[in-house]
Amino acid sequence: MSELSENGRRDFLKKGALGVSLAAWGQLIFSCSSGEGGEAAAEASDTVKLLTPDGELVEVDKKHLKHIHKVEKISQQEARAGIPGKKFVMVIDLARCNNARKCISACQAMHHLPSEKEWVTVKLMKDSKDGAPYWFPKTCFHCDNPPCVKVCPVNATYKRQDGLVLIDSERCIGCKFCMTACPYSTRTFNWGEELDIPADTETHPHNPETSVPSRPGTVEKCDFCPDMVRMGKLPDCVTACPNGVFYFGDQNEDVVTNGSETVRFSQLIKDRSGYRYMEDLGTEPRVWYLPPRDRIFPVERGYESLPDEVKERYKNVGLDG
Amino acid sequence: MDISKKQTAILQKFAPYIERFDARSFVWIFLLSLVILVGLYALIQQIVEGHVVTGMRDNVVWGLYIVNFIFFIGISYGGAILAGMLHLFKVPWRRPIMRIAVLTAFISALIGPIFIILCIGRFDRLHYLLIHARLQSPIFWDVVAISTYLIGAILFMYLLMIKDFAIYRDSDVLNLPPWRRNLYRALSLNYQGTESQNKQLAISKNLIALIMIPMVVVVSSVLSWIFGMTLRPGWHSTIFGPYFVLAAIYSGAAVIVIMMWIFRRAYKLKDYLTDKHFAYMGYILLSLGAGYGYFTFSEYLTSWFGSERWDSEVMEKLFNPAEYGWWFLISNIFSIIIPIVVVAFKKLRTPNLISLAALLLVFGMWVKRYLIVVPTLETPLLPIQDTRPEYIHYSATWVEWALSFAGLATFILFFIVMAKLVTIVTVSDYTEKER
């Protein structure tokens, strides 16, 4: 038994290493990650440098970059059961977030989402009038007592043994009951806007693990990228974050990593007083937060360089002073 | 079968209304059909373009459709439970009201669920509700509740009509085309008024009336639990079950009064639907209104006094004149204060004023359903932080309004058609011995 879990850990660490290399790749794409002037830089350079498998550095036009959904073929049963022996968990370090919004754009690229649809969002929170504002990245919490799963009338959204809450868009009838049941406004609906259906998935049935392709009139949300995890990689939001805000890992093995740093989950929660958002709701989230103590950025850093229309969202919190 | 003199007299009175469609009915049918056609056009838009043509977005995921669903299904539940009670308790003045009550229950039970289908993103997958049903979902409970209820409502209406069908079949006062006679022959199930038939029918009617009463309590509670089971301020409330039950009966009673007024005027039924009938229905409205007012007060008092953060945010929207304050006030004045005042004072207790109060009440109850659904959805626990106005505030589009009015038009149209098929008072109830 212990030998088995030992093997499992080694396996995970290996995969973690893969994640690190992927993170490096992510840094390449999003080389313009530091807050100020980031936007201008993104507009100026339409090319990115990529490392080919032969070790050659090439420059590619950004427009030609496309995610390829090359996943291990998994059956409906596997997609419903989950990855055996795993218990996925995420830790979000609020002390590191400066609203760089790379998690959002990476997630959108990964899942072919229109620019206004955000499965990962960054809220500007201020818990009370005199409290300190802080940036609050929010994924799906993949609750262990998920209110959304309880209310689904057709078993379209379900809880897996590895802790993930996924949606089968071929099953969803679009009643939106899960959206009213979720207390965290996690879920989005395809209201009928133009959907970006990638050509390589056009003929494939919808896969709950990739959440691609989108189906009109159904509910969608953050899925913790189980397709990436199956390949031993980290979810895209984790690797895209320039500040290492997101730690992802397996609670059974008690390991989480943000791509550059791999730590014990329980120790991290203990040392940094990790907590779960709105614990009192009893939903048992699988996402933990580390309080924004000893922040590495002033909160204004994530606001000043934003385009005006994004700034507008956070107006109510009043960072302008 | 034997048709008494009294019944013949009633048939003579109603003959012109059920024998043929007069010009006035045709005008109404034409106008209502136009409204329904506009609704159908809106529906096609929604099917082709998707739900983006509605005002619903990721925060307010339910809008007018759900409001109308609760509204119509509530009216239906109200009509059914009142008819059940009036029948079971052998209330002496029920005779001219029973038919209107069961028709109200039946017709709104047909229209309510249509709005659920309109609200569902993929109604091509509606059958998944049966083949992939999940027992723990309150929506599945509602599917079971509504379909059971619909069967009950149809049976109830039908059992109360069998004797009348036999009378229409055998009456020589009515000048009916052969197909109508054949229809009544089939529908009357060879009822001849024999002793054993009478006994069986009486037992069946009592049974179904008895079943309808607890059934309505259960099904309207199930409806309320769709909201009560969620962790949302303004919805997550233990009072919602009884609150919905009472609100359903209340709005159902009011619609019965409105239909009584319309038919009394259109069919000149002053001898049947007397001032007394309106006064008695008024008393029912008053007692229900007092109960509804009590529930409303109790619900908002506890939320306001407890002043939990999320409850307070919804409360704030309901009390603030810049948000829903005026509507909240109008809803409570129309559906609590006006009906009670009109019925309480003898001078005001006239058929016209009671019916006007009932009309305002029904409107107030519709507004109330809107205030249950929308403000809560506009108040998620996490800040919305979106710049798109339609994601912050719900505002129904012409598509939703067109389909709402089409629903109302269908209700009236069905009533007109049913009032051609059967007399609007139950002829067979007017026996010699029961005055």
Q: What is the pLDDT of residues A7-32, one digit of tens each?
A: 444 455 444 444 444 444 443 343 33
Instruction: Supply the pLDDT for residue A159.
Output: 97
pLDDT at residue A37 tops 60: no
**Closest by CA position to A113, among listed A237, A240, A238, A212:** A212
A158 inside 8 A of chain B by CB: no
Closest-CA distance, A302 to chain B, in angstroms, reads 15
Give B323-364 pLDDT, tens digit per residue: 999 999 999 999 999 999 999 999 999 999 999 999 999 999
Residue B122 pLDDT grade (very low, low, confident, very high; cuts 50, 70, 90): very high
- Closest residue to A152, CB basis, from B134, B381, B388: B134
Computed over every residue of chain B, the mean pLDDT equals 95
ipTM: 0.93
- Average pLDDT (B422-428) is 93
Structural domains of chain B sorted by starting position, each given as residue range(s) with its CATH number in brackets: 5-426 (1.20.1630.10)
Q: Residue B85 has which token pair?
A: 């009670």
Mutant choice from A125, A126, A154, A221 vs B, greatest count of B C-beta within 10 A? A154
The number of beta carbons lying within 10 Å of the beta carbon of residue A55 is: 6
The residue of B137, B235, B379 whose CB has the most chain A CBs within 10 angstroms, and thus the best one to mutate to test that interface, is: B137
Q: Answer whether B29 touches A (CB < 8 Å).
A: no
Q: Are A70 and A227 spatial neighbours (Cβ–Cβ below 8 Å)? A: no
**Residue carrying structure tokens 């802790």:** A163
pTM score over 0.95? no
Q: Which of B52, B131, B230 to mutate to test the interface with A (most CBs of A within 10 A)?
A: B230
Closest residue by Cα to residue B427 from B169, B165, B203: B165
Asked if B49 is an interface residue toward chain A (Cβ–Cβ < 8 A), one would say yes
- Separation of alpha carbons B386 and B393, rounded Å: 11
**pLDDT tens digits for B43-75?**
999 999 999 999 999 999 999 999 999 999 999
Q: Tell me what pLDDT residue B235 has.
A: 95
Mean pLDDT value across residues B218-223: 96
With CB atoms and an 8 Å threshold, state whether B382 touches A218.
Answer: no
Comparing A202 with B97, the larger pLDDT belongs to B97
Q: Summarize the confidence of residues A119-146 as an average pLDDT.
A: 95
Q: Which two tokens stand for residue B23?
A: 């010009």
Taking residues B17-25, report their average pLDDT. 87
A151:B139 CB<8 A: yes
Q: What is the pLDDT of residue A20?
A: 45
Cβ–Cβ < 8 Å for B378, B393: yes
Residue B92 CA to residue B430 CA, distance in Å, equals 11
For residue A118, list chain B residues with Cβ-Cβ distance below 8 A: none
Q: Which of A115, A120, A123, A176 to mutate to test the interface with B (most CBs of B within 10 A)?
A: A176
> Measured between CB atoms, does A27 come within 8 Å of chain B?
no
- What average pLDDT score do residues B406-417 get? 97
| Mean pLDDT of the B381-407 span | 95
Minimum-distance CB partner of A176 among B62, B129, B385: B62
The residue ranges of DSSP E strands in A106-254, in sequence order, are 121-125, 134-138, 157-159, 165-167, 188-189, 219-220, 246-250
C-alpha closest to that of B5 among B180, B165, B173, B188 = B173
By the 8 A CB rule, do B162 and B191 touch?
yes
More confident residue, A195 or A41: A195
The structural domains of chain A, ordered by start, are 2-62+82-144+218-317 (3.30.70.20)
- Judge: B121–A154 Cβ closer than 8 Å, yes or no: no
Cis ω on the peptide bond leading into residue A213 (within 30° of 0)?
yes
How far off is chain B from A52, nearest CA to CA, in Å? 39
Closest CB from A152, A172, A283 relative to B137: A152
pLDDT tens readout for residues A242-261:
999 999 999 999 999 999 99
Which residue is it, tokens 């001849």? B192
- Cα–Cα distance, A76 to B408 (Å, whole number): 44
- CA distance readout (Å), B274 to A16, B165, B317: 83, 25, 44
The dihedral sign for the CA sequence B404, B409, B412, B417: negative
CA atoms of A260 and A95, how far apart (whole Å): 17
**Which of A187, A278, A317 lies nearest to residue B381, judging by beta carbons?**
A278
Local confidence band at A59 (pLDDT 50, 70, 90 cut-offs): confident
**CB-based contact (8 Å) between B380 and chain A?**
yes
Residue at B274: amino acid letter: T
Q: What part of A 296-315 touches B (C-beta under 8 Å)?
A: 309-310, 312-314
Sequence-distant (6+) residues with CB within 8 A of B161 are B99, B187, B422, B426
